[in-house]
């Protein structure tokens, strides 16, 4: 099985979990990873070259998913619109570009760890998830864990991952900090804003996003 791995900080708890999960299960030898940015993983997944991944919500509509996602209840800190005269997409993104369009906002879309660094450096910005929540009072779903096969396996992953919080070892926090330039303290602060539970309110938010994005396209 090939799993699409997005190496942004927002999925650090999930990657820690998966390392433990595969170590203690029969999937250890069969799980391989394809690492890239969200837009590239979307393309590989749609071409069925990746068996499962967190797929941008704008691209996930037609595919089977479990109840795991990358979700912002209010602000998200890592999906920003930087003010400028003209709209500019982030080539690594899909849902975030569509969100800016739905909100009718002009500027430069910036996502991921680069955006998070910009946030902690105090750069001028609009938090797109916060703007969405201010207008509609709902969470914003950036991605869903989608799969082509092995539904039972991914249901098991969903249940185990949501059952208890994942504690990130200090050595992994330090490693992530070195790679991103973001302090361990700020990484943990950021992760408090990320939800993975695709619950009823998140489903309502995604349903509204699909409706609005079809109107604005």
pLDDT in tens, 128-144: 999 999 999 999 999 99
pTM above 0.75, yes or no: yes
Alpha helical stretches, state H, the chain: 12-23, 38-46, 57-60, 95-103, 112-120, 128-136, 151-163, 170-180, 184-191, 200-216
Structural domain boundaries in the chain: 2-216
Once rounded to an integer, what is the mean pLDDT over residues 147-165? 93
Tens of pLDDT, residues 21-32: 887 666 555 778
Give the model's confidence band at 217: pLDDT under 50 very low, under 70 low, under 90 confident, else very high.
very low
Measured distance CA(4)–CA(14) in Å, rounded: 13
- The CATH label, of 3.50.50.60, 3.30.420.40, 3.40.190.10, 3.90.1530.10, for the domain at 2-216 is 3.40.190.10
Measured distance CA(112)–CA(131) in Å, rounded: 17
């Amino acid at each position: 099985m090939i799993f699409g791995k997005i190496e942004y900080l927002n999925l650090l708890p999930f990657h820690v979990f998966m390392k433990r999960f595969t170590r203690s299960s029969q999937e250890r030898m069969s799980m391989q990873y394809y690492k890239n940015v969200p837009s590239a993983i979307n393309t590989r997944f749609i071409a069925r070259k990746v068996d499962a991944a967190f797929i941008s919500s704008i691209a996930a509509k037609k595919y089977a998913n479990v109840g795991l996602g990358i979700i912002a209840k209010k602000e998200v800190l890592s999906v920003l619109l930087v003010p400028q005269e003209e709209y500019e997409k982030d080539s690594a993104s899909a849902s975030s570009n569509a969100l800016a369009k739905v909100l009718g906002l002009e500027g430069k879309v910036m996502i991921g760890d680069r955006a998070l660094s910009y946030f902690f450096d105090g750069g001028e910005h609009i938090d797109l998830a916060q703007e969405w929540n201010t207008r509609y009072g709902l969470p914003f779903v950036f991605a869903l864990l989608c799969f082509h096969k092995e539904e039972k396996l991914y249901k098991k992953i969903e249940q185990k991952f949501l059952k208890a919080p994942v504690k990130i070892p200090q050595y992994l926090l330090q490693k992530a900090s070195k790679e991103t330039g973001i302090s361990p303290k700020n990484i943990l602060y950021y992760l408090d804003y990320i939800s993975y539970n695709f619950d009823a309110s998140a489903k309502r938010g995604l349903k509204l996003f699909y409706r609005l994005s079809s109107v604005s396209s």
